[in-house]
Amino acid sequence: MNEKRKFIRFDIPLCVKFQPSTEATEFCVGVTRNFSRAGLNFESHYFEHEPENTFELKVEIPQQNTFVSVMGDIVWKRRNEAKCITGIKIKAMDNEAKWDILDCGYIRWVDTVRSKHSKAKAHY
């Protein structure tokens, strides 16, 4: 299977906040499933925006207890009865915040690889 993505996606759960529509006064919440230099996807219980629309959401910056604004294009959306999973191509985001998130994802990824390597060594 050919992978179309240019950048590695890190599995990193971050809180996201978004408004479900222009008339809504309260934010909805969700959680990222993965994050890369070019995009992210997240799951939520409710999401009415459609693909090919530009969308703004707030993404939590790890270990800082703050959120950063992310503008992106909705690339795809999948829904079942329990949740909606949405893929976003990032158009605009503070670079420092993006690198903070990617650094956190990279550290988690390295820890996972080391753990798997240690377990594999133990079996020999």
pTM of the model: 0.80
User: What domains are there in the chain, each with its CATH number?
Assistant: 15-111 (2.40.10.220)
pLDDT digits (tens, 9 = 90+) for 59-99: 999 888 899 999 999 999 999 888 999 999 999 999 999 99
Task: Quote the pLDDT of residue 70.
Answer: 95
For residue 97, which of 21, 22, 40, 19 has the smallest C-alpha distance?
A: 40
The overall average pLDDT reported for the chain is: 85
Q: pLDDT band for 115, please (50, 70, 90 cuts).
A: confident
The encoded tokens of residue 20 equal 């479900």
Task: Quote the pLDDT of residue 1.
Answer: 45
